[in-house]
Chains A and B, each alone.
Chain A
Amino acid sequence: MELAFVGQKFILVGIIFLISLVVAMYSTYAERKVAAFFQDRVGPNRAGPFGILQPLADGAKMFMKEEIIPTRANPFLFIVGPSLAILTACIGTAVIPWGQKMTIGSTVVDLQVTDINVGVLYLFGVVSLGVYGVMIGGWASNNKYSLLGAIRAASQNISYEVAMGLSIIALLMITGTLSLREITEQQHGFWKDGYFSWNFFKQPLGFLLFIVCAFAETNRTPFDLPECETELVGGYHTEYSSMKLGFYLFAEYINMFVSSAVMSTLYFGGYNYPGMDYVNEQLGNTWGPLVGVAVLFGKIIFFIFFFMWVRWTIPRFRYDQLMDLGWKILIPLAIANIVLTGLVSTFLR
């Protein structure tokens, strides 16, 4: 029984790992394709039909490239940097509930690797660890541009983590739990007790703050100053080549995937969708939850698309503007949101 349980978790971990890698791979393709569509172009269309094999070609290229470790760099930390970046990016998916409990035969499969009761805290811990990969890599390169990029990444992440944490606190005041499974179950269906059950409708300002901070945490435009190519050559990965560069780029896309998953779980009901009880009754306990998984992935894909949409719309912030936004606007707003949430939940009850 125990062995079966461990095996089941291993399979689940393997599947999630594979899915996040595939999603990250095809995010690179989607990024180029989406950019092309926004600019009235075609995008990659040579490798396979519609360029569908482009990520494989890119990956093969990354592996073939010469691996360079600069002489003046710290070779150990130079390798640790990208490894840490991709590691921390991958372990974030562990606490996300991908679907309702599924029944296969007589066993009940939990579509979540682990339902720890401090899931949100775990996620925050993992996300803040992510900056170490960037910092260590940038420092170990022994290059001014890399170092500047790394410093920017570190200070940016720290500043925005404060606002992100505060925006989450307002959410936690409503949910009363840190477990992601419970938070998702509270958003069951779409309509409950005369109001929308999704947290977005209870915390619109909180979501706005969260998504802005998520852009900053994943180093995406308009906050992509750590790899700002107009000022810093390549930013923290200036000195990197071959698959170590690939890992950094990959980590960025996995981070995007994870933060999209977190946003859909915390604010947009995760695997919940309107009329899910009816669908579950019709399809039974094996296929019903899978529909939920598909819905969750639909939401995730929308958010990834939104990340790209914003990237090809808004120009980059200046560094002082970035800090101004973080400290002078987002944090006061987040605190105001907490006070407002407290007042509303006290007097409306």
Chain B
Amino acid sequence: MESLTNRRKLIESKPLNFLERAYLPAILSGLRITGKHFFRKDVTIRYPEQKREFSENFRGQHSLKRDEEGRERCTACGLCALSCPAEAITMIAAERQKGEENLYREEKYAAVYEINMLRCIFCGLCEEACPKEAIYLDGDIVPSNFLRKDFIYGKDKLVEAPLNQ
């Protein structure tokens, strides 16, 4: 029957000729192919010493940003936690006291800010939700660890280093 797609191919199965049955020429051509690979440059990136370059929009570990004067931008509005599909973000808000204006930009700030790196799927929705441009996933790969509790990153690991240090 004529095939409708017109893509049918007839495959002939010819009996092997003597050289093909002898198997040795096939082995020799196989050895030639593997021999070529022997001298080819290896494709391995030796990871701890060498690192692959990330693309520009690579999403790695989160960092909580500071503004031009070195104050934390986060105002603990909770939009990131709300937008997070993996429920990885949690925080406790606190009111800024007198004399802390050089530490926090807004009148409210996050006293505790935790991201569970085991839950995080690095989708970047927190970054998009943030109205204060306070959180970015611009870090490196999150390193491995032995204990689950050590994957819950607090402000000590997330907040950017102060400006003048």
User: Which A positions have Cβ atoms within 8 angstroms of B?
Assistant: 34, 36-42, 45, 208, 309-310, 312-314
Contacts and interface: CB of A to CB of B under 8 A. Distances in A.
Interface of B is mostly: helix
A313 B27 CA distance: 8
B123 interface: no
B44 to A, nearest CB: 5
Contacts of A38: 34, 37-38
A208 B27 CA distance: 13
Contacts of A314: 27, 30
Contacts of B121: none
Contacts of B46: 42, 45
12 contacts: A34-B38, A36-B42, A38-B34, A38-B37, A40-B37, A40-B40, A42-B42, A42-B44, A310-B31, A313-B27, A313-B31, A314-B30
A40 B42 contact: yes
Contacts of B143: none
Interface string B25-58: 0010011011101101111101000000000000
A152 B44 CA distance: 38
Contacts of B38: 34, 37-38, 309
Nearest to A39: B37
B30 to A, nearest CB: 5
Given A36-B42, A42-B42, A208-B24, 19 more contacts: A37-B37, A37-B42, A38-B34, A38-B37, A38-B38, A40-B37, A40-B40, A40-B42, A42-B46, A45-B46, A309-B31, A309-B34, A309-B35, A309-B38, A310-B31, A312-B34, A313-B31, A313-B33, A314-B27
A136 to B, nearest CB: 34
B43 A313 contact: no
A309 B35 CA distance: 8
Contacts of A208: 24
B42 A313 contact: no
Contacts of A45: 46
Given A38-B37, A39-B37, A313 B44 contact: no
Interface of B: 24, 27, 30-31, 33-35, 37-38, 40-44, 46
Contacts of B27: 310, 313-314
A38 B40 CA distance: 8
Nearest to B22: A329
A219 B44 CA distance: 31
A41 B30 contact: no
Contacts of A309: 31, 34-35, 38
Nearest 7 Cβ contacts at the A-B interface: A313-B34, A42-B44, A313-B30, A38-B34, A37-B38, A40-B42, A42-B42
A313 to B, nearest CB: 5
A40 B43 contact: yes
B35 to A, nearest CB: 7
A314 B28 CA distance: 10
A173 B47 CA distance: 59
Nearest to A310: B31
Nearest to B27: A314
Contacts of A39: 37
Contacts of B24: 208
Nearest to A36: B42
Contacts of A313: 27, 30-31, 33-34
Nearest to B28: A313
B22 to A, nearest CB: 9
B18 to A, nearest CB: 13
A312 B35 CA distance: 10
A32 to B, nearest CB: 14
Contacts of A36: 42
A41 B31 contact: no
A313 B24 CA distance: 13
Nearest to A305: B38
A143 to B, nearest CB: 34
Nearest to B45: A42
B37 to A, nearest CB: 5
Contacts of A310: 27, 31
A313 B38 CA distance: 11
Contacts of B42: 36-37, 40-42
Contacts of A34: 38
Highest count of chain A CB atoms <10 Å: which of B27, B38, B43: B38
A45 B24 CA distance: 35
A310 B35 CA distance: 10
A208 B34 CA distance: 20
